[in-house]
Structure formats: C-alpha cells, structure tokens
Amino acid sequence: AQSVTQLGSHVSVSEGALVLLRCNYSSSVPPYLFWYVQYPNQGLQLLLKYTSAATLVKGINGFEAEFKKSETSFHLTKPSAHMSDAAEYFCAVNPRVGNTGKLIFGQGTTLQVKP
Amino acid sequence: EAGVTQFPSHSVIEKGQTVTLRCDPISGHDNLYWYRRVMGKEIKFLLHFVKESKQDESGMPNNRFLAERTGGTYSTLKVQPAELEDSGVYFCASSQRQGFNEKLFFGSGTQLSVL
C-alpha cells in the first residue's frame, strides 16, 4: 500500500534561509508525487508534481523538489525563504489505482518564517 | 474564472444533528473529490464523482455520510446523525481531466465542529 511520511510537523526558518521540507513515500508502483501548499483561509494549491520525467522538478514561487528513488524521498526545497512562504505544506502520492486523481497525503508540515 | 467554492466555511452543530456541506466545482470539471482532515491527522480521501456517478467511495467512513451530485454540477455531503469524531475540515476538489497526474483544484474547506 502506498503511504507518505512528512518528517517534522513544524519547521521554522529565518527569512532568507534555506527551506527544506522532508517527504518520504512508500509505493509498490512507480509513484506520481505532489507537493501542495495551503495558505491561511485558502484551499490547497499545487506547488509541483513528479510524473516520471525529470527527477528535479521546479514549481511555483521558487520551490523545487528532487525525486530520489534509492531514498524513496521527494524533499521540497527553496534557496531563500520569504515571509510569504509561511503556510502548511502537504506531500502526496497518487496510488495509481483506477486512473484517477485520488491522492494519499502526508500529515502536513507547517512552515514558519521568522524575520 | 471562479474557483472551487464550499459552503459553509464553518459549521458548529451538536452531536446527533444533521449537517449538509456543499461544493461548487469549477465549471466544466467533471471530476469532483471529497477529502477530510481530522485535527492533527492527514488529509484523507472520501469519494470521487465523475459527473453525477460515484466512481470511488472507498473512503466514506460509514453510512452516516451521504454524498450526492445531482445533474453532475454541485455536490453535497450530508452527515446524519453527526458524531463527535466527524469534526474536521472537509475539502472538495475538482479537475477537468481524469488521470494519475490530473491537477486538482481545491476549495478552502468547511470546518465542521460537532459538540
């Protein structure tokens, strides 16, 4: 069965510092992986997705993630944090059953950015 | 273009009462998903509609939950009778094309509190 684990429910960084949000997955088939972000009082918004093309995926707002099969990881990074990056981030995997967009989510990581 | 809209944004009810949540997907999106996040836990899939048909309802917790999508437009999720453990945030998402890497557009959710 597919699953997603996000290490760290809360991450705090200083403005301008590197952002690293960790995600490990378990999947019996080649995975399709996603990162979503939820800003306060808004819906989840797709940041980026991996669908078996390039292992380094670039997303919106300067975020990127690297798919590492050997480590079963899909960590999200951003070189320099902005105050506006404060939000909750969700890693997700598509279990690839029935050709649908059904997702299995991790527990979420809240990113705090300090001035 | 309007996004996915959910009503109400918050609902506070007493145990045993009935609550109906509504989701208006983006116009033209045949796929509609319901997800739920119980406090402190991950976002979990509830069910998937393709137009008016239930494609997958494997995530529905029990028969106190009833989802409908008459006419293939908006959807409702009724909880009757509500229990304390039903508290959480209910998200709706829609998409245009079905597939493993389909892009889901999420609403901002309905916060349900059962007292």
In chain B, % of residues over pLDDT 90: 85
Using alpha carbons, select from A102, A92, A104, A111 the residue that is nearest to residue A40: A111
Inspect the interface and report whether the beta carbons of B43 and A100 lie closer than 8 Å. no
What's the CA gap between A66 and A73, in Å, rounded?
Answer: 8
Residues in chain A within 8 Å Cβ distance of B93? 43-44, 101
CA end-to-end span of chain A:
41
Residue length, chain B? Answer: 115
Q: Residue A97 has what pLDDT?
A: 73
- Distance between CA atoms of A51 and A60, rounded to whole angstroms? 16
Q: What pLDDT score does B70 carry?
A: 85
Total beta-carbon pairs less than 8 A apart between chain A and chain B: 75
Q: Which of A5, A9, A44 to mutate to test the interface with B (most CBs of B within 10 A)?
A: A44
pLDDT of res. B51: 93
Closest CB to B99 among A43, A99, A104: A99
What would the 3-class secondary structure string for chain A be?
A: CCEEEEECCEEEEECCCCEEEEEEEECCCCCEEEEEEECCCCCEEEEEEECCCCCEEECHHHCEEEEECCCCEEEEEECCCCHHHCEEEEEEEECCCCCCCCCEECCCEEEEEEC
Nearest CA in chain B to A92: B43
Which of B90, B101, B103 is the best residue to mutate to test the A interface, defined by the most A CB atoms within 10 Å of its own CB? B101
Confidence of residue B1 (pLDDT cuts 50, 70, 90): low
Distance from CA of A45 to the nearest CA of B (A): 7
Tokens read off for B64: 């106190």
Bridge partners (DSSP) of residue B48 are: B33, B56
Q: What is the mean pLDDT of chain A?
A: 92
Tell me whether residue A66 is exposed, middle or buried, using C-beta atoms within 10 angstroms of its C-beta: 0 to 12, 13 to 18, 19 or more: middle
Tell me the average pLDDT across B78-92. Answer: 96
Closest-CA distance of chain A to residue B35, Å: 9
Task: Give per-residue pLDDT as tens, A5-42.
Answer: 999 999 999 999 999 999 999 987 888 899 999 998 88
Q: Is the pLDDT of residue B113 over 80?
A: yes
User: Which position has the token pair 């998409």?
Assistant: B95
